[in-house]
Amino acid sequence: MHHLKIPQNNNMGQRHVEPTIIAKQLPPKHHKPDGTFQNTGEKFKLPSWRKELVFDLTMFLMRKREPNHNEFPIILPDFKKIYKPDPTRIQYTWIGHSTFLLQIGGYNILTDPLLGPRCGPFKDHIGPIRLRPTPLTVDQLPPIDIVIISHDHFDHCDLFSLRDLTKKFKDTIHLYVPLKLKKWVQNDHIVCICSLVQSCFIEKDLLSIFFIL
């Protein structure tokens, strides 16, 4: 694992995260020599076509009428608390899907940002469309220090959101992405990227954050 220490942040207006590696162990078994992931457990076996057919028929028969998405309420966040969070408490705001704004000890952490109208390689015309507008836009976010990307699916690693975030918060933001995603994201001209390994331990004052990948 990597043990990362974040310097103390007493100035809420000047956030700059520069973690330093304190200790490093040998790569775990599920890392290939080139740094990619390999499953060390039993090999996955595809189900037979009979089981697939039974499953599909069961899901078809159990389906329910899809609700009217326009009836889903949009709850706007408390912007006063977002812009002036209590540094002694942990505060989180659910923005939608896997996107959370975590505010801990004076730092603003964003997970799997999906802040556009669609997810996919094409921003405006092709791909799954958002059913309801996002309750919070990039321009409404406080200065972001850390972005955590869990994996490379388009609804979790949205390059359009990452472009907007790194453009707006280029002086403070650091991206943490899984194995082998660093080069892919850098090819999109996104900088300030740290590649996560098996686990990442971030420590600030009395706060410890442990990410397991």
Cα separation, 35 vs 98, in Å, equals 26
Average pLDDT over residues 52-57: 89
DSSP assignments along 85-131, one per residue? --TTS-EEEEEETTEEEEEETTEEEEES---SSB-SS-SSSSSPBPS
pTM of the predicted model as reported, rounded to 2 decimal places: 0.68
Digit-coded pLDDT (tens) for 73-83: 888 889 999 99
Domains in the chain, please, with CATH? 2-39+78-212 (3.60.15)
CA 2 to each of CA 18, 22, 202: distance values in angstroms, whole numbers, following the listed order: 14, 7, 9
Average pLDDT for the chain: 75
Radius of gyration of the chain from Cα atoms? 20
Average pLDDT over residues 51-64: 83
